[in-house]
């Protein structure tokens, strides 16, 4: 969840580290800090809050580490901000992850006279390294690792060593290779402006960097070859390019994302008797949409599982099952653990992933990349749409058919033309405190995703239900003060959804309907009507997502919310 950056070379480290933190701030923004090594000293600057809070400072030095925090242990504060230093101010570390046995380690170190200055689990790492140091930093790191339980990535510097060491076990860490300089980062977005050559660390690996060399070893100290990869996107792709927010830019990029994703070649590793989709959050809602598509088109039974629940059950899997993991980042901790569990049970695994060479992409038996490009906004938009496109392609491939998307790209472009209309609707509902979303069949996952978007960025409480479930409890929430967003295109369940809308209207509930353009019946029933261009009923999910994203965006914008960095959230959930 947190963001780590490291630099060693012949340039001043502080501006490089600061720039990297700004690009990683989507991973957490409770606090930020930088530590550099200069003239046999460690220099430290850290503050509670956003990265901008440390912009006014400057620390000299050509080696340093930096961190932006998403709090797990200890409240957001200056004291709990990274980096941490040991008692002698010799070592400094930054850490992403959770040390599960930190209380035991903390008590042990306290008995040895160590005073802790924070409430975090991370601080134990720097004190253990100082404890085990006898002249070789890497050896001290390896001894420290042997004491740690949990998932982590961390970097450490020593004030006079001219070396940065990074270690990975369960949390992402990548090395950037420059000309006489090296970088560490949690994500390539932090370093892509400096280099496009990278080494992705695997679990149980330690990397030592000096200005002259990169040296990789495993947790037993055995040297390993470094596999250099090329990053195929650039800094400009991760810029706002004139849009007010990344989220709005990424919403409007979706026609191009669909065009690119439709080019993806689908290869399926087995003739599966059953498919299990595992994912979290938005990706899980894409998976639920995929369940409807695959069962309808390919006639193969599909189970859609929340990865954080799947990993703690005793799933009944076999070699005849195909487990599909969906993740934008390819680093989602629960999804990764679920993949590993599926492999242990002999199932075949396939990833639908956006980030090339990410951990899940390397872990699964086969991988399909979604071609959404870098997604910076914390609330996923274009990645969701690209996942849907891959699932359409996959469903048709499983059925031995070719997916005909028709003119869907122009229809999506036309739907984006509703932006001004949606802004006006948002103005009338931005003060609502609660909202309901309803949809039937393949529209239901879109209702879930729409409600999630509203919750994530506007902080309005929103719930989504299958429209047919209203009478089983949720209709008690209907009132004039609780608007309902009804997904009702002219598809196979249109008349049934119309009946549900009439039930809401009979109880004085306000209806914001998303339906097919020219639908006079729906428009008459609705307080607000959002018209979608007509398409084949199978394709409506690709259009429905657009107005739901834009409506959430404009409501959040009118409320003055921090849309790209909503409170308490992080883009990539790399801890349990």
Catalytic residues: 2, 571
C-alpha pair distances (Å), 539 with each of 293, 398, 404, 542, 544: 10, 18, 10, 6, 9
Rounded distance, CA 436 to CA 480, Å? 12
Question: What ranges in 273-377 are assigned the alpha helix state H?
Answer: 281-297, 307-310, 333-344, 359-363
3-state helix, strand, coil in the chain (%, to 5): 35, 25, 40
**Contact of 208 with 167, CB cutoff 8 Å:** no
Task: Give the list of residues 6+ apart from residue 411 with CB closer than 8 angstroms, or none.
Answer: 533, 535, 539, 542, 543
Say if CB 165 and CB 173 are below 8 A apart: no
CB 412 within 8 A of CB 546: yes
Return d(Cα 81, Cα 240) in angstroms, integer: 28
Rounded to whole angstroms, the Cα distance separating 566 from 115 reads 35
Integer-rounded Cα radius of gyration of the chain: 25
- Which residue's entry shows tokens 């993806």? 264
Q: In angstroms, rounded to a whole number, what is the distance separating the alpha carbons of residues 426 and 555? A: 5
Tell the residue number behind the tokens 């020219």, with chain if given.
518
Backbone φ and ψ of 466, nearest 5°:
-60, 135
Sheet order of strands, 197-200 included: 41-48, 31-38, 63-69, 3-8, 182-185, 174-177, 197-200, 229-230
Instruction: Give me the residues paired with residue 66 across strands.
Output: 5, 34
The residues pairing with 157 across neighbouring beta strands, listed in sequence order, are 92, 164
């Amino acid at each position: 969840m947190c963001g780590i950056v490291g630099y060693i070379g012949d340039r001043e480290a502080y501006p490089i580290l600061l720039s990297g933190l700004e690009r990683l701030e989507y991973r957490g923004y409770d606090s930020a800090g930088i530590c550099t090594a200069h003239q046999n000293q460690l220099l430290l600057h850290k503050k509670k809050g956003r990265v901008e809070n440390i912009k006014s400072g400057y620390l000299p030095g050509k080696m340093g580490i930096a961190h932006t925090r998403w709090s797990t242990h200890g409240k957001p504060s200056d004291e709990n901000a990274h980096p941490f230093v040991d008692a002698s101010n010799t070592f400094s570390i930054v850490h992403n992850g959770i040390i599960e046995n930190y209380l035991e380690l903390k008590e042990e170190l306290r008995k040895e006279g160590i005073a802790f200055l924070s409430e975090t689990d991370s601080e134990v790492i720097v004190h253990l390294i100082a404890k085990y140091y006898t002249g070789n930093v890497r050896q001290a790191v390896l001894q420290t690792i042997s004491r740690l339980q949990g998932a982590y990535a961390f970097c450490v510097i020593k004030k006079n060593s001219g070396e940065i060491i990074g270690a990975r076990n369960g949390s992402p860490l990548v090395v950037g290779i420059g000309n006489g300089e090296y970088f560490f980062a949690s994500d390539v977005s932090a370093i892509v402006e400096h280099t496009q050559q990278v080494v992705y660390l695997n679990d149980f690996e330690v990397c030592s960097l000096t200005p002259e060399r990169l040296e990789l070893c495993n947790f037993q100290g055995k040297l390993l070859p470094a596999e250099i990869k090329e990053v195929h996107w650039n800094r400009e792709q991760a810029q706002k390019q004139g849009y007010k927010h990344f989220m709005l830019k990424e919403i409007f990029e979706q026609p191009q994302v669909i065009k690119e994703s439709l080019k993806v070649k689908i290869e399926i590793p087995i003739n599966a008797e059953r498919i299990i989709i595992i994912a979290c959050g938005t990706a899980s809602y894409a998976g639920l949409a995929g369940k409807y598509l695959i069962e309808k088109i390919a006639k193969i039974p599909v189970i859609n599982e929340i990865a954080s629940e799947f990993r703690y059950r005793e799933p009944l899997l076999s070699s005849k099952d195909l487990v599909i993991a969906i993740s934008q980042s390819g680093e989602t901790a629960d999804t990764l653990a679920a993949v590993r569990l599926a492999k242990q049970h002999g199932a075949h695994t396939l990833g639908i992933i956006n980030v090339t060479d990410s951990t899940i992409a390397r872990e699964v038996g086969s991988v399909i990349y979604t071609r959404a490009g870098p997604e910076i906004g914390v609330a996923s938009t274009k990645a969701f749409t690209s996942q849907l496109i891959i699932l359409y392609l996959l469903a048709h491939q499983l059925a031995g058919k070719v997916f005909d998307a028709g003119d869907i790209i122009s229809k999506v472009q036309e739907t984006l033309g509703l932006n001004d209309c949606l802004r006006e609707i948002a103005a009338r509902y931005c003060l609502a405190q609660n909202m309901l979303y309803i949809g039937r069949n393949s529209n239901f996952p879109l209702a879930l995703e729409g409600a999630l978007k509203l919750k994530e960025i506007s902080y309005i409480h929103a719930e989504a239900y299958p429209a047919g479930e209203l009478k089983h409890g949720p209709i008690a929430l209907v009132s004039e003060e609780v608007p309902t967003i009804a997904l009702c295109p002219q598809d196979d369940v249109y008349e049934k959804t119309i009946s549900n809308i009439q039930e809401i209207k009979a109880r004085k509930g306000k209806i914001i309907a998303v339906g097919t353009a020219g639908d006079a019946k729906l428009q008459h029933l609705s307080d607000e009507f959002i018209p979608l261009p007509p398409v084949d009923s199978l394709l409506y999910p690709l259009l429905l997502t657009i107005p739901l994203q834009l409506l959430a965006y404009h409501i959040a914008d009118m409320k003055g919310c921090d849309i790209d960095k909503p409170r308490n959230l992080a883009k990539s959930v790399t801890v349990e």
